[in-house]
Structure formats: structure tokens, C-alpha cells
Amino acid sequence: MKKILPLISILLLSACSSQNLRGTGDLGLIIERAIGQVQLVEHTGNTSLATIKGLGDLSHASIVYSRDARYGYVFGRDGGLTKIDVLQQKIVKRVIQSGNSIGGAISQDGKLIAVSNYKPGGVKIFNSDTLELIVNIPAVYADGKQSKTVGLIDAPGQLFVFGLYDASEIWVVDMKNIEKPVITKFKDIGLFPYDGLVTPDGRYYIAGLFGEDGLAMLDLWHLEKGVIRIMDHYGKGKEKLPVYKMPHLEGWAMAGDKMLLPAVGHHEVLVMDKNWKQVKAIAVHGQPIFVMSRPDHRQMWVNFAHPRNDTIQVIDTETLEIIKTLKPGKAVLHMEFSPRGEHVWMSVRDENRVDVIDTETFEVVKSLTADKPSGIFFTNRAHKIGL
């Protein structure tokens, strides 16, 4: 015993230390969409740490993080809401909360997880510890029909904001008192809001419209002003070009007083000033999907829709010119910057690869193997508004 016990102690302690005792500030999860799993990575050494299986249908999946950056909440297409412990590298809880969901958000205080649903529609809000349902908000409109909900985001003041695709409405839910959610409804905001974003300061909610041109904008600091229309010509336009994929609004990027956004259908990145007027259109390689700002706002990185999705272009935010065109490979679906911007991670789905690229030299510093990778989500998102 005398000899064995200390030995066992050391083994056990070192075991638990080596596996679990680590900071969570440099971790990330990558969606492996085809096989329902996520890959856990770290961006200090740019390595893969683990694979976590059993998450169901992860097409169009997204992830938010708890405020301690320990738990990732994965929103799956099949209505699955899965809570992952990145330290124990396992699923701690999983619920199928609807038939078909399209993303979610975490409240400012970290205590609430909201999920946006297509079937049956509406938004459900869960306790982030237990995943117990706290509030069900059916998106009911004309004669009792339920709408799909889209573009769900969190905002300061314990708000959740989302669009009602079928009802042409935007709803703002104030969850300060979880016993009595206060819902403010904005009607006739435009046909078929299909996605939304909030500016990085959490102030302006902007919804894209599938049914008409222009954008619906709501100032969350002044709900009394109601929803106004901006960028009247934004959208598919009269020519009705083939749109291979509607752009992701979350990708919109601010740089100083400029905002860059992907045109719909056209091979252009649009530049909007702080008065929400278009001041320029930058010709790019294809139909842009994500236009993402490097954390220091000096560069914007753009990926494109099929069939031109093998290419990435980098725009200089001072000159608004393309300074680099990269060909990472087939189907570059998503990008995520390291928190302070020295690297960008890139999912190259059809080549089962994630590349880590130096944003100054544009060299690939590391390639990781991943199964049909799509979304990449680093834990520093835990501290950001509106993701």
C-alpha cells in the first residue's frame, strides 16, 4: 500500500490535470456537418484536441458559448439543442426542442438560451444550465398561423430579437423578468425577412428581405421610432438574377464609419456609410456569402457562393481595393479569426480540410483534417454582443 497509493494518486491527478486542467480562452468547435459531430480545437498551437459525436443533423448549425467559455450550445437543423463541455470533451445535455431549427442566441447575462424554429415555428427559451424550457413563444400571426422565425440575436438589456418569415414582422423580447417576458411586435416590416444581424455595439437590428428589395432596420435604443427601410435597392433587383445562396447577414462587417455587405446575386461587395446609404460597390469574384472584418478592421475577408466557392478575396478597408485572392480549395464555407486577428481559420468542406492562414503573409501556417467542415466558432464569442 505505502508505495502503491502515492503512485495511484500521482497517476490519477496527472491524468485529470493533463486532460482537463486548461484555460478555455483559446478553444473552438468546428462543425463536421455530414456526420453529426464537432471537432474541438485550440488556436494557441493550432491543434485538434478531440471529436465529439452524436449531435444529429448539423447542416446549417451554429454555436454560442457560456460566459465562462466552458460550454458550447450547438443548434442543429433537426431541432436538436446540444450542450457540450469543452473541458470534459463530451455532451452534457441534449434535447430535441423542435422539428427544425435555424439557430440561436445566448442572453447578455448568460442564463438563457433562445432557439429559432422553422417547425413548428416560434422561439423557445431555455435555462442555460439545465436546458429546461423557460418560455415558449409561438410566432402566431393572422388567424392563428405560426411563422418560421429567423435572424435571432441577443442584445443588451436581456433582449432577444428575431424576424417572422411568413408574417413580415420583427419581434423584440425583453427577458429581464423571466416570469413576464415583454414582447414588442413590429408589423409590415417587409416581405419574408430571411435573416438578421445586430451591429457589434448591439444597437441596430437589420433584417434582409427575401420577398422585396431593401432592408428593414430597427434602432434598439429607440423602439418608439419603429422599423425603417434602408438601402432601397438592396436585394435581387428587377433583373431577378439567379441567386445561388442568400448571403449571411451575420457576416456584415463594420470598419470605422463604413459597413461592407454582400450584394444579393451580384458579384459585388457593397459599401454603406453611417447614414445607411450605399457609397460604393466593389467588384468581386462571385456572389459573396460572408464579408468578415479582421478584428482590427484593416481587412475584410470574403467567401463566395457555389460554383465560385473555391476562392477567397481580401479587401483593404482604407482603399476598398482587393489586395489578395486566394484559392484554398473546393467549397470554402466559413471563416473565423483568432481573437486578435493574426490568423484566420477557414473550412474547405469538399477537401475535408481546415486551413489556418496568417493574415499578414497570407501563408497557410497549419492544415487540420476535418470531415466536411462548415462553421468554426471560437470561445471568445462568449464575450461578444449579438452573436
Site of interaction with a second copy (CB under 8 A): 1, 5, 8-9, 12-13, 16-17, 20-27, 42-44, 65-71, 86-88, 108-110, 156-158, 201-203, 221, 256-257, 274, 295-298, 318, 339-342, 360, 379-380, 382-385
Q: Judged by CB, which is closer to a second copy: 194, or 204?
A: 204
Residue 264 CB neighbour total at 10 angstroms? 22
Minimum CB distance to a second copy, residue 312 (Å): 20
SS3 content of the chain, % helix, strand, coil (to 5): 10, 45, 45
Q: Judged by CB, which is closer to a second copy: 110, or 181?
A: 110
Q: Judged by CB, which is closer to a second copy: 214, or 341?
A: 341
Cis preceding-peptide flag for 181 (omega within 30 of 0) = no
Cis preceding-peptide flag for 156 (omega within 30 of 0) = no
Residues 328 and 334 sit within 8 Å (Cβ to Cβ): no
Minimum CB distance to a second copy, residue 368 (Å): 18
* CA proximity to 316, closest of 258, 234, 247: 258
CA angle (119 as vertex; 180, 264 as ends), nearest 5: 100
Minimum CB distance to a second copy, residue 135 (Å): 19
Q: Judged by CB, which is closer to a second copy: 27, or 29?
A: 27
Residues 184 and 175 sit within 8 Å (Cβ to Cβ): no
Minimum CB distance to a second copy, residue 360 (Å): 6
Query: How far apart are the C-alpha atoms of 12 and 144, rounded to whole Å?
Result: 59
Q: Judged by CB, which is closer to a second copy: 26, or 351?
A: 26
DSSP-H helix ranges across the chain: 4-20
Q: Judged by CB, which is closer to a second copy: 110, or 329?
A: 110
Minimum CB distance to a second copy, residue 186 (Å): 21
Query: How far apart are the C-alpha atoms of 136 and 174, rounded to whole Å?
Result: 14
Q: Judged by CB, which is closer to a second copy: 298, or 308?
A: 298
Minimum CB distance to a second copy, residue 296 (Å): 5
* CA proximity to 360, closest of 337, 345, 343, 336: 343
| Number of Cα atoms under 13 Å in the Cβ half of residue 260 | 31
Q: Judged by CB, which is closer to a second copy: 143, or 257?
A: 257
Minimum CB distance to a second copy, residue 363 (Å): 13
Q: Judged by CB, which is closer to a second copy: 313, or 380?
A: 380
What is the residue-wise DSSP string for 276-331? S-EEEEEE-SS-EEEEEE-TTSSEEEEEE-TTSTT-EEEEETTT--EEEEE---S-
Minimum CB distance to a second copy, residue 162 (Å): 19
Minimum CB distance to a second copy, residue 173 (Å): 16
What is the residue-wise DSSP string for 179-226? TS-EEEEE----S-EEEEEE-TTS-EEEEEESSSSSEEEEETT-GGG-
